[in-house]
Amino acid sequence: MGNRECKYKGVEQISNSSVRINFTYLGRGWREIEPIKTGDDDVVHRSCKKWEDIRALIVADIKAGRFDYAAYFPKSKKLEQVQALLGNKQNIFTTKDYLYKWLKASSKSNEETTTLENFQIIKNRMPNILSIPIDKLTFEDVETMAEGWGNRTHTIDNKISPIRCALRLAVHDGLIPSNWLAHRKIEGVEVFDPDHDDDINPFNKQERTDLLKACKHQQDRNLFRFLIWTGLRPSEVCCLKWSDIDWTKGTIRVNKSFPRKATRLKPPKTKSGKRLVKILPDCKFALNSQKQFTYIDGNEIIFHNPNTNEPWNADNKIRDHWVQICKIAGVTYRRPYQLRHTYATMMIMAGEPIRWISTQMGHSSVMHTLDIYSRWIDDDDPTSGDKASKIYSDIDDEEIEEPKPVK
């Protein structure tokens, strides 16, 4: 018997005189055993290479929708099985079948939370198309469904991504000739969603004062003062431990987060996200005030929900408290993430070094920090350029010539 290692794409030599050809068609994997010429290694190689070339033609025909199983394998015992599938494929291969086929395959490489989120989108947002045969699904079907969601274009594009992937699998399996959703977008509606507002709209000094005064619970006041003066994300703060505080060096170690919809702690997505944040006086004040609630009782997590005395989680949302505090303070609601923007803009407006600010924020580069905040600051600061003028101006060295009268 020859070497059984698969040296040819989709073709495996299984004996001295035969190979097995593997391919996917009609949503299933198929294997056909065919004879090869025997002889020296060169003869066997040429015979195997011939079947590799034939398999490439098979795959091309499947993708083009013109594959004829009997033409390639006229003596195959699987021909009746193929004909049965061809006759019933509309009832077998629904959009749901392929969405879940993709979901199962992608779960091996995706995060658990990503898989769960995709599952919820398929289950709750796509019931109207699940029963449609995958080869009968149209762009109009998807468009009608998506327009009923009331989302913006970007959100719709994310939600229909599983459909694109399912169609790509269907193309690979020979059920449809092309992925007609690959490069098309569906226009959404322009709606204001404060929790997904990407505009930088930090809180000014008066708003910050009013918000802290409006906190009914001291633990809320400590939490939001801490957020204002560290620039940490809410997902980073909710899992912060007392052991992350270095009182001697005056730093906070940030190396984990608990994102929305997550089921477990996660490390930072980028290397720069793992960082040490300086404890500024207001931040230290908040931490010292929080000690009486969690530190003296030996709790690991620094900040708790004052209503439950438990760490913040998916059920006890920081946002719910923040909404009520904004109402009491009479401050226009912006999502808690704007407290991070507030920290960054305060630091930049005060003239702190941009590289230091970028490091404190956990940004990948200084340019990333400038891309986010420079336009807002340029538009807002009326004193821009004054410092440089005072230091470097040489107007005093010049004499102003009196203008000559016009004749």
Please report, for residues 217, 288, 311, 396, 398, the alpha-carbon distance to residue 299 in angstroms, rounded to integers and kept in the order given. Answer: 19, 15, 9, 63, 67
Residue 8, phi then psi, degrees to nearest 5:
-125, 140
Residue 129 lies in a domain: yes
Q: How many domains is the chain built from? A: 3
- On whether both 342 and 239 belong to a single domain, the answer is yes
- On whether both 99 and 172 belong to a single domain, the answer is yes
- Pairing mode, strands 275-278 and 11-15: unpaired
Residue where one domain finishes, among candidates 191, 214, 231:
191
Residue 402 lies in a domain: no
Residue 83 lies in a domain: yes
Q: Give the per-residue pLDDT at 380.
A: 47
- On whether both 52 and 179 belong to a single domain, the answer is no
Please report, for residues 275, 334, 342, the alpha-carbon distance to residue 331 in angstroms, rounded to integers and kept in the order given. Answer: 32, 9, 14
- On whether both 71 and 107 belong to a single domain, the answer is no
- On whether both 152 and 252 belong to a single domain, the answer is no
- On whether both 81 and 105 belong to a single domain, the answer is no
Residue 54 lies in a domain: yes
Per DSSP, what are the bridge partners of residue 247? none
Q: Give the per-residue pLDDT at 361.
A: 93
Would you state the torsion angle of the CA atoms of residues 343, 349, 353, 355, taken in this order, to the nearest 10 degrees? 50
- On whether both 332 and 362 belong to a single domain, the answer is yes
Q: What is the CATH number of the domain that holds 340?
A: 1.10.443.10
Residue 33 lies in a domain: yes
- On whether both 164 and 281 belong to a single domain, the answer is no
Q: Give the per-residue pLDDT at 390.
A: 67
Residue 391 lies in a domain: no
- On whether both 143 and 53 belong to a single domain, the answer is no
Residue 404 lies in a domain: no
Q: Give the per-residue pLDDT at 41.
A: 87
- On whether both 247 and 345 belong to a single domain, the answer is yes
Q: Give the per-residue pLDDT at 200.
A: 85
Half-sphere exposure of 13 (CA within 13 A, CB side): 22
Q: Is this model's pTM higher than 0.75 or not?
A: no
Q: Give the per-residue pLDDT at 267.
A: 78
- On whether both 58 and 180 belong to a single domain, the answer is no
pLDDT in tens, the chain (407 residues): 444 455 788 999 998 889 999 998 887 889 999 998 888 888 889 889 999 999 999 988 887 777 889 889 988 999 888 888 777 654 468 899 899 989 888 888 887 778 888 898 998 899 989 989 898 899 999 998 988 888 888 889 889 999 999 999 998 888 888 899 998 888 876 544 443 445 789 999 999 999 999 999 999 999 999 999 999 998 899 899 999 999 999 999 999 888 765 667 777 767 888 999 999 999 999 999 999 999 988 889 999 999 988 998 755 688 999 999 999 999 999 999 999 999 998 998 888 899 999 999 998 888 888 888 876 555 445 565 666 666 665 655 555 455 555 55
Q: Give the per-residue pLDDT at 331.
A: 95
Q: What is the CATH number of the domain that holds 103?
A: 1.10.150
Q: Give the per-residue pLDDT at 391.
A: 65
Q: Give the per-residue pLDDT at 55.
A: 92
Q: Give the per-residue pLDDT at 217.
A: 95
Residue where one domain finishes, among candidates 26, 58, 89:
89
Range of the domain at 51: 11-89
Query: Looking at residue 294, what DSSP letter applies?
Result: I
Residue 237 lies in a domain: yes
